[in-house]
């Protein structure tokens, strides 16, 4: 792993200084030219500086992924795009293109070894290499032992998160792949460069061990900012891991611990305000964006087709950079009942000859979640549904764009994990958990009690509540071993998927009355290949034996 392991601390800090990348003032590092590697690693203050660089990468990606066309690879927020675009609920126009469109289309370059498969691998291993350096140096470093424990806890959380995203993207889901080739486990900076793959089971064992140890180490950590991981974030991620593993008691225990400490759900006003206020108690983990971060233009806010009609159809108009690219499928909109404020919609449309007043106005769309951009003349977008979940209503002028904070874990997800785990365990509490969320959202309450029917309601609720947060779409399809099914636009459903969304799917015929395309469950089109550069630099692994196929379900 020479390419991904050989970064030294000084080089990294110089790069960060030159790029001027920062979550906020706490993540900004001073010049490193006047310190040595040994000095950086020898004290708690130096190790904290290196820890901030690890946060930098896991939250924002590296500088090379800062280009707008690489949005889905800009750290955890990028993966929120990546996972959800691989599902059935989101449409991507080609207006801006780039990695968001590649993800939507299941483009060949998205997952192949010589192309974008490298990006998630490089990002996550950089984080792993950094925290391994810190963990190796901690015992001998000068400083308070209590602070050392907090550093260790944060490092193990970040390593667990990095490995979880690696194993999720580079091998099929846990239930069917425990004994299959996983990824390369590195737990020390002194590990040999040439090291073989571990099994999927061994990878999950390390992830669980890291996160379990970390939540104890962080039990008394009072963080200063929500970009930092604490015990709640650690337990929240452990709940996700157990959910993928099918360890339902573990998932219930961890999610309950988090939810019970953070049970104040978003109000109607908070939900409808646009998801940019990370001070809301329900937000457990978030990224702070400024004009000097490298993914300020690469979050959901910039891609949804949701800027106010008064700003027009230009990508440069409005209070944020806006690429006018993402919309939602009609079948997603139809999931919501009429009382659910998450599903409020303006059905106004406009046809040639209609009065100008029939166009959707700012007043029409600001109080709803779904609406039609009636002034658009691009590819029948005026028939599609714009979505206001990630919405910033402001007065910014061109060239004076504002950067928006971004939530990446919420209490609602924990409540839904509790509901799913309880349903799987059949302990009688699942319906209570589910209806707690539905009541908060003024939605129709589920009455189903039979296990499979109740689980289907929970899966639908996850889509309604969590779309855009990286735990629906491809994420749920993989862990639940379900096929992807998309329905194309037709005369009866003009708000269906764009035809280019089926380019790499099976069975699509645009002339069908209800055209649809599928990707079978467990298909390797969901999974990245191991990067070629890894095989080139690591003689302990063999491409002929260890590479993922591009498609098919494998053995």
Tokens matching residue 44: 């708690």
d(CA 344, CA 342) in angstroms, rounded, equals: 6
Count of CA atoms in the C-beta half-sphere (13 A) of 544 = 1
> Are 372 and 490 within one domain?
no
Look at residue 183 in the predicted model and tell me its pLDDT.
98
- Asked if residue 212 and residue 85 are part of one domain, the reply reads yes
- Residue 179: count of CB within 10 angstroms of its CB: 10
DSSP state for residue 278 in the 8-state scheme: T
Distance CA 438, CA 488 (A): 30
Residues 160 and 136 in one domain: yes
3-state SS of 306-359?
A: CCCHHHCCCCCCCCCCCCCCEEECHHHHCCCCCCCHHHCECCCCCCCCCCHHHC
In a domain, 263, yes or no: no
CA 387 to chain CA centroid, Å, is: 18
The residue out of 343, 372, 403 marking a domain boundary is 403
Does any domain span residue 141?
yes
Question: Would 11 be classed as within a structural domain?
Answer: yes
Domain shared by 58 and 88, yes or no: yes
Q: Say whether both 365 and 415 belong to one domain.
A: no
Q: Which of 387, 403, 419 delimits the end of a domain?
A: 403
Q: Are residues 478 and 532 in the same domain?
A: no
The burial class, CB within 10 Å (0-12 / 13-18 / 19+), for 81 is buried
Give me the pLDDT at residue 4, please: 37
Computed on alpha carbons and rounded to an integer, the radius of gyration of the chain in Å comes to 23
Is there a domain that residue 262 lies in?
A: no
CATH number at residue 461: 1.25.40.390
What is each CA distance from 462 to 196, 242, 313, 532, in whole angstroms?
37, 17, 31, 36
What pLDDT does 68 receive?
54
Rounded to whole angstroms, how far apart are CA atoms 136 and 534?
24
In a shared domain, residues 76 and 166? yes
- Which of 377, 403, 429 lies at the terminal end of a domain, its last residue? 403
Answer yes or no: do 349 and 493 share one domain. Answer: no
Residues of the chain with pLDDT under 70: 1-38, 62-69, 290-297, 394-400, 555
Q: How far is CA 138 from CA 58, 142, 321, 492, in A?
A: 21, 8, 42, 63
pLDDT value of residue 524: 97
Same domain, yes or no, for 206 and 156? Answer: yes
Tell me how far apart the alpha carbons of residues 523 and 179 are, in angstroms, rounded to a whole number.
Answer: 18
DSSP 40-55: HHTBHHHHHHHHHHHH
Residue 493 resides in a domain: yes
* Residue-level pLDDT at 396: 58
My answer on whether 536 and 517 are in the same domain is: no
Residues 6+ apart with CB under 8 A from 161: 58, 76, 229, 237
Residue 497 DSSP SS3: strand
* DSSP tag of 181: B
Same domain for 540 and 499, yes or no, is no
Domain of 334? 300-403
Distance CA 341, CA 328 (A): 17
- Does residue 520 form part of some domain? yes
In 40-167 the beta strands, taken as DSSP E runs, fall at 90-92
Give, for 284, the enclosing helix (H) or strand (E).
strand 283-287
Report yes or no: 309 and 363 within 8 Å, Cβ to Cβ.
no
CA distance from start to end of the chain: 27
- Per the listing, tokens 């494998």 go with 554
- If asked whether residues 314 and 459 sit together in one domain, one would say no
Residue of 144, 155, 140, 185 lying closest to 58 (CA atoms)? 155
Q: Per the domain annotation, does 101 fall within a domain?
A: yes
Residues 6 or more apart in contact with residue 58 via CB below 8 angstroms: 75, 76, 123, 124, 127, 158, 161, 162
pLDDT value for 322: 83
In a domain, 272, yes or no: no
Count of domains in the chain?
A: 3
Structure token pair of residue 413? 């997800």
């Amino acid at each position: 792993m020479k390419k991904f392991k050989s970064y030294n601390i000084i080089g990294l800090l110089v790069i960060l200084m030159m790029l001027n990348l920062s979550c906020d003032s706490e993540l900004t590092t001073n010049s490193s030219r006047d310190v040595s590697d040994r000095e950086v690693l020898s004290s708690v203050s130096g190790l904290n500086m290196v820890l901030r660089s690890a946060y930098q990468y896991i939250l924002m990606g590296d500088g090379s992924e800062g280009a707008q066309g690489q949005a889905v690879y800009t750290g955890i927020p990028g993966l929120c795009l990546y996972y959800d675009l691989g599902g059935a609920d989101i449409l991507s126009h080609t207006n801006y293109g780039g990695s968001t469109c590649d993800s939507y289309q299941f483009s060949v370059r998205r997952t192949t070894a010589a192309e974008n498969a490298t990006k998630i691998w490089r990002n996550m291993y950089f984080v792993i290499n950094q925290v391994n350096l810190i963990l190796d140096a901690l015992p001998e470093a000068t400083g308070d032992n209590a602070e050392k424990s907090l550093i260790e806890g944060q490092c193990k959380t970040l390593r667990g998160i990095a490995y979880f995203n690696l194993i999720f993207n580079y091998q099929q889901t846990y239930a069917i792949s425990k004994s299959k080739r996983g990824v390369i486990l590195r737990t020390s900076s002194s590990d040999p460069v040439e090291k073989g793959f571990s099994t999927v089971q061994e990878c999950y064992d390390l992830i669980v061990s890291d996160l379990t140890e970390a939540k104890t180490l962080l039990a008394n950590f009072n963080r200063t900012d929500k970009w930092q991981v604490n015990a709640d974030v650690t337990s929240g991620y452990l709940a996700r891991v157990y959910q993928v593993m099918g360890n339902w008691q573990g998932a219930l225990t961890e999610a309950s611990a988090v939810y019970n400490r953070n049970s104040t759900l978003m109000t109607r006003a908070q939900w409808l305000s646009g998801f940019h206020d990370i001070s809301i108690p329900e937000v457990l983990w978030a990224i702070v964006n400024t004009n000097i971060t490298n993914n300020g233009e690469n979050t959901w806010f910039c891609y949804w087709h949701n800027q106010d009609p008064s700003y027009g159809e230009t990508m440069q108009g409005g209070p944020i950079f806006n690429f006018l690219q993402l919309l939602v499928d009609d079948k997603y909109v139809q999931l919501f009942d009429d009382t659910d404020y998450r599903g409020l919609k303006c059905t106004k449309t406009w046809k040639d000859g209609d009065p100008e007043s029939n166009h959707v106005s700012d007043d029409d769309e600001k109080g709803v979640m779904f609406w039609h951009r009636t002034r658009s003349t691009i590819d029948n977008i005026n028939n599609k549904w714009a979505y206001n979940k990630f919405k910033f209503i402001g007065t910014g002028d061109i060239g004076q764009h504002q950067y928006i904070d971004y939530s990446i874990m919420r209490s609602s997800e924990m409540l839904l994990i509790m509901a799913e785990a309880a349903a799987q365990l059949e302990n009688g509490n699942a319906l209570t958990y589910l209806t707690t969320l539905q009541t908060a959202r003024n939605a129709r309450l589920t009455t189903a009690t039979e296990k499979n029917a109740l689980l289907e309601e929970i899966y639908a609720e996850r889509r309604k509540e969590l779309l855009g947060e990286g735990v629906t779409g491809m994420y749920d399809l993989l862990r639940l071993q379900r096929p992807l099914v998309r329905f194309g636009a037709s005369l009866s459903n003009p708000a269906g998927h764009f035809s280019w969304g089926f380019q790499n799917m099976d069975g699509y015929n645009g002339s069908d009355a209800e055209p649809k395309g599928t990707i079978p469950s467990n298909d390797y089109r969901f999974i990245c290949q191991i990067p070629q550069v890894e095989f080139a630099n690591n003689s302990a692994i063999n491409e002929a034996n260890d590479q993922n196929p591009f498609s098919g379900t494998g053995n």
